Amino acid sequence: MDQERHETYERIPWEALDAKRPDPNRLVIIVAVAIALGALAFSFMRNQPAPPPATVAAEVAASSTTVPVAPTTVPTVATSPMIVSEADLYAVDTGSLADAAVAHAEWFAVEYVSVDGSDVSRSTLVSLLPAGVPVPEAPEGTQVFVDWVGAVSVTETASFTYEVEVLVRSLVSGPDGLFTRQPPRRLVVEVAIGPDGLPRVTRPPAVAVSAVTATPLPMTLGAIPEQLETQIETSTGPVLGGEALADGRWRVVVMAEDTDGVRRPRTVISP
């Protein structure tokens, strides 16, 4: 190997070194351009619209794992007729039980007295009578229609058992096809509330012709002012009399004609 040679200079060539030194102004320009480009890039990225939420949700849904759920089996329970216990019946308002017995007794009385010869009426009465009791027998061509029915009393004779007294008035057809109004009949119907909460007739009713002849209450009618009498007779009908009221008006009884052409006594109050 040759021996390395060392050269010795009397002076350093600074002009050569200055030629290789970077220009400071050039560096400043480069840094300024880089900063400007970075600012423009940041401003551009910030002004871009955000991706819609649906895209994000879709990506999340796509990346999620679906876990199958086993179906739930609901056990079935066999249904049975509702049975109301005696304690539950006692918890019910006794007034409502009595009302149910009255309504059932009135319905029974209508079906019991009515006769129209139809199979529907016969089957209805069969369902209301106690089992094994025959339905009423009527002569051929006889028709009976109930004019009105109403309960006049109800008595609890035992637990959930009521004796209902019902008044019934009916119309009976004659040989000439005309109907005759019958005297009121009094039916005593015993109704029991069963374990299912439904009312039923326990036996055929006791029946008697009712003599509804209560003593009439007295009514005092006096003369009314002549001008008022003339006014009422002109607008309503003949005046039977009246009585003065505490507020200065008059209670007047007149014979007024109804829409069926029949004149009936009616009470009117003068203005």
HEC per residue, the chain: CCCCCCCCCCCCCHHHHHHHCCCHHHHHHHHHHHHHHHHHHHHHHHHCCCCCHHHHHHHHHHHCCCCCCCCCCCCCCCCCCCCCCHHHHHHCCHHHHHHHHHHHHHHHHHHHHCECCCHHHHHHHHHHCCCCCCCCCCCCCCCEEEEEEEEEEEEEEECCEEEEEEEEEEEEECCCCCEEECCCEEEEEEEEECCCCCEEECCCCEEEECCCCCCCCCCCCECCCHHHHHHHHHHCCCEEEEEECCCCCEEEEEEEECCCCCEEEEEEECC
Q: What is the pLDDT of residues 162-191, one digit of tens each?
A: 999 999 999 999 888 899 999 999 999 999
Predicted pLDDT of residue 26: 57
Q: How far apart are CA 129 and CA 109, in angstroms?
A: 11
Residues linked to residue 170 through DSSP beta bridges, in sequence order: 146
- For 242, residues 6+ apart whose C-beta sits below 8 A from its C-beta are 221, 222, 223, 224, 250, 251, 252, 253, 270
On whether the CB atoms of residues 145 and 118 are closer than 8 A, the answer is no
Q: What is the pLDDT of residues 97-118, one digit of tens each?
A: 999 999 999 999 999 999 998 9
On whether the CB atoms of residues 142 and 173 are closer than 8 A, the answer is yes
167: nearest Cα among 113, 98, 117, 203: 113
Predicted pLDDT of residue 141: 87
- Both structure tokens of 161: 């058992």
Q: How many CB atoms are closer than 10 A to CB 209? A: 10
User: Model's pTM, two decimal places?
Assistant: 0.59
Q: How far apart are CA 233 and CA 227, in angstroms?
A: 10
Predicted pLDDT of residue 145: 96
Backbone CA torsion sign across 218, 224, 229, 232 = negative
Q: How far apart are CA 97 and CA 81, in angstroms?
A: 20
Predicted pLDDT of residue 64: 45
Predicted pLDDT of residue 246: 93
Q: How many CB atoms are closer than 10 A to CB 134? A: 9
Predicted pLDDT of residue 24: 56
| pLDDT tens across the length of the chain (271 residues) | 444 554 554 555 545 545 455 555 555 556 555 665 665 555 555 555 555 444 444 444 444 444 444 444 444 444 444 454 555 555 556 779 999 999 999 999 999 999 998 999 999 999 999 999 999 999 888 999 999 999 999 999 999 999 999 999 999 998 888 999 999 999 999 999 999 999 999 999 999 886 666 788 888 999 999 999 999 999 999 999 999 999 999 999 999 999 999 999 999 998 7
| Chain centroid, CA 148 distance in Å | 30
Predicted pLDDT of residue 44: 55
CA atoms within 13 A on the CB side of 235: 11
